[in-house]
Amino acid sequence: MIDERGDRCPGCTKWYWYQSASHTFTDSSRTQSSSQHLHSSRMPLDTSSYTLSQLRLDGRRWNELRRIHAQISTHAAADGSSYLEMGNTKVVCTVTGPAEGRRAGGQGGGGDVLDVRVEIGLAGFSGVERRRQVRGDKRIFEMAHTITESLNRTLLTNLFPRSTLSISLHVLSQDGSLLAALINAATLACVDAGVPMKDYLVACTAGCMSAGAPPPPQVKADDDGSNDPILDLTALEEQELPFLTVATVGAEDKVAALVIESRFHAGRLDEMLAVGVDGCKRVKELVDEVMNMAPKSRASVRRAQLTRTITDAFAVKLRDLIWSRGATATPPIRLALVARPRVALHCSGGIFRLIPVPVGGCACRALAVGRLDARLKGAHWQGFGTMGSDGRAVAIEGGFT
């Protein structure tokens, strides 16, 4: 479905026609050169090797992704944020945290690992017809649950005990592949927030032109395209065709989440999944591109500098502190430098999180979260010092239970 107003996009001057790697079952004549890129106008499709009937309703070939446009750091007020378009599906994601748990008391935000919370809001104007989101919609709940569970295994949640990461997703426009778009947007925003993760969690949808049993291999030769799997479905295609949403971790064939809600012959699964996983690889490259192209704001550069200064000096400082508590051997100190504002500092079973908070312009507060070695259990210590070449004041404080 080519939307009549779809080709105008704020903040973007590019048009992409993306194509995933060819999947194994097709003849090589269909494999097109990858990732063609044009400016400002709709690209005339090369249909010489392709009859019109084998194009999809919006003019894509079977293995083409829709145009993906993404940005990070779109919201100044959030710790991490992203804006993602997959065709006409548009989502905004803001991330707050990792921060102290929202719920008071021992519950919530507690535990040994980061508590990931996902909220999804469907805007009333996002669909074709205006519809208010009903409270407690199970479909939305399931999507939020899927994103939470997938991120739980992809983020290094053990680095942030007793902390909460609130991810809030807003759907501005829906046109198929909603869950996939939400997952991709959440990943981008988490990277932007500086939450360490194993690899990108990326997702896309794959479908099939027919739900029946796949034809035996010898029939493949005079294939008319009616048995083809297709990549990245629009809302119209999702209504008509069986499809799946698959999320993978990084560019390998590691499936983090798989959601199928339609009925089709079991023999179709592996080719659909193959196309879906290929699509995820392509999405991963695009996400990488977005991260590389993300403009570095002056604030983020300054924060990065500050972070580096602190990391260098703090390692020494902390070791001194632990020594002074009577530790018998130098505890192994591992510094995990996180992409942006924060520093995670792993130290012998205890986790320290440094948050450079510019107080009065020069002082930074280091917040210790978690338990230290059993030896130091119950200790409460504090330290002040200057560090770095410019003599920034840093207060280090920790309270352990």
Partner 1 sequence: MPTQASINAQAQVFLSPAELSYLHSSLTLNPAIRPDGRSSTQFRPLVAEADILSNANGSARVCFADGTEAVAGVKIEVEKTQDAWKAADAALDVDDGEEYEEGRGSRRKADLSEDVWVETHVEIPGYREDDALPVFLAGILTEALLASGELKQRLFINRRFHWKLYVDILLLSQPLSYPLPLLSLTTHLALLSARVPLLISQGEEDPLFSDDWAAATLLYPRTGAVAGDKPPITLLVVTIGENIIFDPSKDELAVAESVVAVSLDEPSISPAARSGKQKANPQSRRNLRLLSLRTIDPPSHLTSSGVPTSLGMETGADDFGTAATSSEAIVAREGLDRGEVWSPPRGGLKRNMVVKIIKECTSEEGVGQEVIRALAAVG
Partner 2 sequence: MPLEPKISVNEREFLLDALRQNLRLSGRKLDALRPLSITFDPDDYGVTEVQLGKTRIRAHTQTTITNPPPSRPFEGTLTITAELSPLTAPHFELARPSDTEALLSRLLEKSIRRSGALPVESLCLLAGDKCFNLRVTVHVLAHDGGLPTAAFVAVLASLMTSRVPATEVRGGEVQVFTAEEREGVRLQLVHVPIAVGVSVFDGGAIGVVDADGMEEQAREGEVVVVGNEVGEICGVTKWGGVDVGAVELVGMVEEARKQCEGVVKWLKGKVEEEEKRRAKRDHAGERSAENQR
Residue numbers at the binding site for partner 2 (CB under 8 A): 107, 138-139, 141-142, 145-153, 211, 213, 244, 247-249, 253-267, 269-270, 273-274, 277
Q: Which residues of this protein are in contact with partner 1, per CB under 8 A?
A: 3-6, 8, 10, 75-78, 88, 90, 92, 94, 96, 119, 121, 123-130, 132, 135, 168, 170, 172-175
Shortest approach of partner 1 to residue 391 CB, angstroms? 27
- The residue (of 281 and 353) whose beta carbon lies closer to partner 2 is 281
Q: How many CA atoms lie within 13 A of 232 on its CB side?
A: 32
* Residue 42: contacted member of partner 1, partner 2, none (CB under 5 to 8 Å, by partner type): none
Q: Which string of b and e fits 83-93 if b means at least 16 CB within 10 Å?
A: bbbbbbbbbbb
- The residue (of 349 and 385) whose beta carbon lies closer to partner 2 is 349
- The residue (of 173 and 205) whose beta carbon lies closer to partner 1 is 173
H or E stretch at 236: helix 235-240
- The residue (of 231 and 247) whose beta carbon lies closer to partner 2 is 247
* Residue 256: contacted member of partner 2, partner 1, none (CB under 5 to 8 Å, by partner type): partner 2
Alpha-carbon dihedral 37, 43, 44, 48, rounded to 10 degrees = 30
- The residue (of 136 and 217) whose beta carbon lies closer to partner 1 is 136
Cβ(200)–Cβ(84) under 8 Å? Answer: no
Q: How many CA atoms lie within 13 A of 187 on its CB side?
A: 31
Shortest approach of partner 2 to residue 109 CB, angstroms? 15
Cβ(65)–Cβ(19) under 8 Å? Answer: yes
Shortest approach of partner 1 to residue 60 CB, angstroms? 17
Cβ(341)–Cβ(307) under 8 Å? Answer: yes
Shortest approach of partner 1 to residue 87 CB, angstroms? 10
Beta strands in 115-200 (DSSP E): 115-122, 163-173
* Residue 270: contacted member of partner 2, partner 1, none (CB under 5 to 8 Å, by partner type): partner 2
In the sheet that holds 350-359, the strands lie side by side as 333-337, 343-347, 350-359, 363-368, 392-399, 380-387
- Which sign does the torsion angle of CA 202, 208, 209, 211 carry? negative
Paired tokens of 66: 């829709």
- Helix axis angle for 178-193 and 269-293, nearest 10°, is 30
- The residue (of 8 and 263) whose beta carbon lies closer to partner 1 is 8
Shortest approach of partner 2 to residue 148 CB, angstroms? 7
Cβ(370)–Cβ(162) under 8 Å? Answer: yes
* Residue 213: contacted member of partner 2, partner 1, none (CB under 5 to 8 Å, by partner type): partner 2
- The residue (of 199 and 312) whose beta carbon lies closer to partner 2 is 199
- The residue (of 153 and 302) whose beta carbon lies closer to partner 2 is 153
* Residue 141: contacted member of partner 2, partner 1, none (CB under 5 to 8 Å, by partner type): partner 2
Shortest approach of partner 1 to residue 92 CB, angstroms? 6
Shortest approach of partner 2 to residue 119 CB, angstroms? 15
* Residue 384: contacted member of partner 1, partner 2, none (CB under 5 to 8 Å, by partner type): none
286: burial class by Cβ within 10 Å (0-12, 13-18, 19+)? Answer: buried
